[in-house]
Chains A and B, each alone.
Chain A
Amino acid sequence: MMNFALLFRNYGILLVTIGLFIVLALTADGFATERNLRNILDQQSMVIIAAAFMTIAIISGNFDVSVSAIFVTAPLFGLKVENMTGNVLLAVVAAIAVGLIMGAINGFIVTRLKINSFIGTLATSFMFFGAGFLISSRSLMRPESDAYRLIARSRFLGLTSATWIAIGVVIIATILLSRTRFGRNVFAVGGNMEAARLAGVAVNRVQTTAFLLLGAAAALAGVLNSSRSISAQPSDDFSFVFAVLTAVIVGGTSIAGGQGAIWRTTTAAFFLAFLNNGFNLLQIDPIWQRLIEGAVIIMAVAVDTWTKNRRA
């Protein structure tokens, strides 16, 4: 019996996003222009890259709050390498390696030390933020070579390289989740950890891999961010992870694990971006934007809980 609630759960976000798009296209001047939409794609690329792999981590049953800290700190390390060697490629590799290491630390803390993922990654956040201040000597860092800005700001077929990279990442994450053994194991571990263990799934390895990949994705997003602004700055700003989590949750990924889809996370990221952009164009007070964003999250989670209760 495919009821309305289940259909809404699966495709609701798509309907709502298309609806919002149409409304804004009709009411907001300058919304449905090629330039504006390209900008939205470019601006959302970083959130989407991290959110795609955050979706995988949450399906596997874990939160990762430290995405913000990796987003801030990994590019600082990348720039440090760039400043020393002048090699942009090496800088990117170094930043992503830092992301992987940080992901490995998260994985170790959560799967081996058995610390709740929310608390564990909150704790590592502070450590990673702190590492950022140390690497940068508490100051703004800039790339030496002009090529660094090309990482995110090259153009191909009208779209920025940041957009293309995001598209590539979403495709990779989708294939990983839906077409590989790793993806199946992610759903299994998050859906029923004991059953997965008894089926011979290496539960810890699957969850750690999800953290590793998310760390790398967050680092890549951080590199793109620093390339867009041609600088990076240490901070302890958590806002990036909230944008990422909002997209994942509004996209209907179950916070209990075991359920979710990357295309829905991506759609939700656009829904939130349209909302944001539309409010700006319509010159509505940003305070309203927050109120509505909060309400949208509650609705998304309520739909999730509601459909679950109906099944039980």
Chain B
Amino acid sequence: MTTTTAPTALALSGVSKTYGSIAALSNVSVTFEAGAIHALVGENGAGKSTLGKIMLGVETPDTGALSWDGKDVRFNSPAQANRLGLVGISQELSLMLDRSVLDNLSIGRETCIGPFVDHGATLQQAQQVMDQFDMPLDMRTMVGDLPVADQQRVEILRALNQDANLIVFDEPTARLESSEARKLMLILRRLAEQGKAIVFISHFLEEVLSVADTITILRNGEHVRTCPAAEETRSSLVEGMTGAADQGQFPALPPVDPAASPLLVVRGASRKGQFENIDLTVRPGEIVGLSGLVGAGRSELAHAIYGASTLDEGEIAIGGEALHGHSVRDAVRRGMALVPESRRAQGLFMTRSIRENISLPYLDRFMSWLGLRFNQERERVTHFGESTSLKYGDLADPVSTLSGGNQQKVLFARAALGEPRLLIADEPTRGVDVGAKRGIYDLIVGLAERGLGVLLISSEIEEILGLSHRVLVLSRGQVTAELTGVDINENAVMAAAFGAN
């Protein structure tokens, strides 16, 4: 092992990256110092992870330059960044669960004699790293048998079992208990003291303020500011991350009949490790916003309501009828519709036609003994395509030919075709152009006006503020606030989202 002792720093200047028509990063310049912890904060989609990926060569920037230790560098692959000692520890751990701790630590870095692995030397080196950073683990344990916090240590040790000079931690505490998270903070501090540059991406502002030396705030892909952590406070960070709320981008909300009996009632819903003791009601014509951070259990709750996963405890009733052991088919039959979080992974059949994508859950309505009645199907699909202002060339075109916003409208057209009573919209504008967002907001409000109950899940706080009659905030699987009317404001939502524990 050769260790570079010179003070090293990674500098990014004028870095931009767009995905399709979405600017994930625009013209960002940041410098990362050796021996310091540099935190990146911002709302979901602000560009934090993209920045981390660019540093590690996972993504290449469209414009801008990187320099390492004063020399210009360009990474075309993660391997190139790796050779300079730039490594990452992602939220999703990438470990071999069926192999031992030692195997995971030494994969690709075995000490060899000719073609043979020198087991003793390999073990010794791994042990040395473990001792040096004081993270003792049994080398022979299968990684899959370890708790998540220890698995994370394995991942960190793996990064250290080579010449790591800069380590990017992307949301490392999202899956940890708070006591484990505190231990991780100590590890970060120690690594920095040993001269590594640490990049810490996190949603948890207390953690950031307690451990970071420098904080960079990103908003919508833009660099807001970089300041010493000592100059920031919780509220200054929140303000920097969210900016001024843009007024007028949302349609007016229709009034809700307060006397109407609730359409959806959820009582004491729990699912182990995902959410706990949730009470929730949605009335006809009401849009209920479900806010919280990624991983707070919002989508998991939505899936359970929709019958896509089961509840461990609690009950769900729609229109006064209790649902027992219900399935997605049952939910669809009883008038629920879901616009899922990831349209690519959970919603659309990319190579199939627009028509097939829209009508799929409701084909039974077009059945006759001669097979599907194509004309009737085409007529209904066209009708709901128009009602959602979907723009397309031909209904037979594959969905993959549409823009992100129009793909999202396909999912809304699908939901509308079912003429549901309750719509669950999970991140309805994710990956959608700013311009197309208003169209989707109009759709949601339009559906509520027609008497649908809407459960809206969004990581974009403006969306929650602008579209909800009532807001429930989840944090680590629990409801930490229920806000109505004038109480719905950014600070209250953010405080509840970040505030639990």
Contact = CB atoms under 8 A, between A and B. Distances in A.
Nearest to B339: A198
B400 A311 contact: yes
Interface in B393-420: 400, 414
Given A195-B347, A259-B351, A200 B372 contact: no
A200 B346 contact: no
B221 interface: no
Interface stretch (B101-109, B149-157, B278-286, B357-365): B357-365
Nearest to B349: A191
B449 to A, nearest CB: 25
Contacts of B331: 200
B345 interface: yes
A138 interface: no
Given A179-B371, A180-B372, A181-B367, A194 B356 contact: no
Interface in A163-188: 175, 179-181, 184-185, 187-188
A175 B369 CA distance: 12
A101 interface: no
Contacts of B212: none
B356 A200 contact: no
B183 interface: no
B19 to A, nearest CB: 13
A201 interface: yes
A199 B361 contact: yes
A258 interface: yes
B85 interface: no
Contacts of A199: 328, 332, 360-361, 414
A192 interface: yes
A198 B308 contact: yes
B83 interface: no
Interface string A111-123: 0000000000000
A175 B364 CA distance: 17
Interface residues of B, number: 30
Nearest to B401: A1
B99 interface: no
Interface string A197-209: 1111110000000
A17 B363 CA distance: 36
B391 interface: no
Nearest to A178: B371
A257 B332 CA distance: 25
Given A191-B349, A198-B340, A184 B363 contact: yes
Interface in B327-346: 327-329, 331-332, 338, 340, 345-346
B147 to A, nearest CB: 26
Given A179-B372, A198-B308, A202-B329, A184 B348 contact: no
A6 to B, nearest CB: 10
Nearest to A194: B346
B275 interface: no
Interface string A61-86: 00000000000000000000000000
Which of A188, A196, A198, A202 gathers the greatest number of chain B CB atoms within 10 Å?
A: A198
A181 B372 contact: yes
B404 to A, nearest CB: 15
B32 interface: no
A192 B308 contact: no
Nearest to B330: A200
A179 B375 CA distance: 12
B356 A195 contact: no
Given A181-B372, A191-B352, A200 B329 contact: yes
A180 B349 CA distance: 17
B302 to A, nearest CB: 11
Contact of A181 (B332, B349, B364, B414): B364
Contacts of B338: 198
Given A181-B372, A184-B356, A311-B400, A200 B332 contact: yes
Interface string B265-283: 0000000000000000000
Contact of B328 (A180, A181, A192, A198): A198
Contacts of A194: 345-346
B348 A195 contact: yes
Contact of B349 (A175, A187, A311): A187
B306 interface: yes
A239 B367 CA distance: 39
Contacts of B340: 195, 198
A187 B352 CA distance: 8
Contacts of A258: 349, 351-352
B371 A195 contact: no
Contacts of A311: 350-351, 400
A255 to B, nearest CB: 14
Contact of B356 (A187, A198, A202): A187
B371 A192 contact: no
Contacts of B372: 179-181, 184
Nearest to B398: A311
Contacts of B356: 184, 187-188
Q: Which 4 A-B pairs have the closest CB atoms?
A: A179-B371, A181-B363, A200-B332, A191-B349
26 contacts: A179-B372, A180-B371, A184-B359, A187-B349, A187-B352, A188-B352, A188-B356, A192-B345, A192-B346, A194-B345, A194-B346, A196-B360, A197-B308, A197-B328, A198-B346, A199-B328, A199-B414, A200-B327, A200-B328, A200-B331, A201-B360, A201-B361, A258-B349, A258-B351, A258-B352, A311-B400
